[in-house]
Every structure is written in structure tokens, then in C-alpha cells.
Amino acid sequence: MTEEETKVVFEKLANYIGRNITFMVNNPDDPHVFRLQKDRVYYVKANVAKLATSIARKHLISLGICLGKFTKHGKFKLHITALPYLAKYAKYKVWIKENGEMPFLYGNHVLKAHVGKMSEDIPEHAGVIVFSMKDIPLGFGVSSKSTLEAKNLTPTGIVALRQADIGEYLREEDTLFT
């Protein structure tokens, strides 16, 4: 990846995991690297990345975990496949009640009525990871209000704008990896 591409990817990741990005980059116990294949960014174990150099780029379809892809306009969009790492190092979290799981997994935003609990001090427009009350990561999004403002919302007010959810594996199975 170029320096500019790396900067764009790290800024997007930092929106969700903050300074915890250092755990993804500098992990001596389990070293990983970032690789760009076509327009997709992969998070790959360092030893696997070395082995992959023996395969011609045009024959390489995928490598490691796909974090997201670059759009035609140079913006970086995180994919749902990045969720395990985002959830592991999340800075801000929102837990939704059982009655809010299905609406979220069908592609809807997180409503105040569905929020079971949320991290303190979430600023407006920050990246949040959405969990079930059983601590299962369901997706991620962007906070529409700060924690204090969200407490004063009506039950139908939007707390987090959905960016991706695990329901995409079924809804977009034909296009997710193409």
C-alpha cells in the first residue's frame, strides 16, 4: 500500500478502535501485515504473506482477513469481515436488547428503545461496535448522538447509524467477496 492508502485505512480503523490500532500493527506475539490486493485491504499473518509471494498476483484471489475496500473515489469502506478485530479492540460499544437484534440484522439503525446499555462518553459521529446483550458482536456503525444526548432521545430516536451487520453475509452473499 502507498503511504496515502495506509493513512486512509488507519484513520478509518482509528475511528472505531482508537489507539488500540497499535495492537493490530505492533503485536510481536502474532505479527500481522496489511496487504492491498486489487482494491481490497487484507490483514494477514506475516508468515502467510511471505508464503503468498510465490503466487502470481493475478492468480491470488484472497489473502487473510478482508478489512475493507477502496472505492473508485479513493475512500476506504470497512467490510463486515473486519468485525472480529473491531470488536476485539473496540473503543465505544453499544449493546442492544434481544428485541432490537433482528431489526438491526435486517439492516436498520439502532433505536433508543433497543439499547440495553452503552459505553460512557461516546462522542457524536464516533465509530461504535454493536453487541447483543450476550456480548456477541453484531455489527458496527456511527453514533448519531453523544451518550448524554442519547439518554434524552425518544424511544424511536436513532442512537447509531448502521454501517455493517452480520446479516450482510446472507443479504449480500453474491457480491460480498467479488
Q: What is the pLDDT of residues 88-116, one digit of tens each?
A: 999 999 999 999 999 999 989 999 999 99
Which three cell numbers, joined as nine digits, stand for 95?
449493546
Q: What pLDDT does 164 receive? A: 92
**What is the number of domains present in the chain?**
2
Beta pairing class for 93-96 and 110-111: unpaired
Whether residues 75 and 110 fall in one domain: no
Enclosing domain of residue 40: 3-85
pLDDT per position as a tens digit, 158-170: 999 999 999 887 7
Residues 73 and 137 in one domain: no
E strands, 20-136, where? 32-37, 40-45, 65-70, 76-78, 93-96, 110-111, 115-118, 127-132
Residue range 31-45: mean pLDDT, rounded: 89
- H/E stretch holding 14 reads helix 3-17
Q: Which of 85, 112, 142 is the last residue of a domain?
A: 85
Residues 144 and 108 placed together within one structural domain of the fold: yes
Do the domain assignments include residue 178? no
CATH classification of the domain holding 25: 3.10.450.220
Nearest CA-CA partner of 90 in 163, 20, 7, 11: 20
Tell me the average pLDDT across 63-67.
Answer: 88
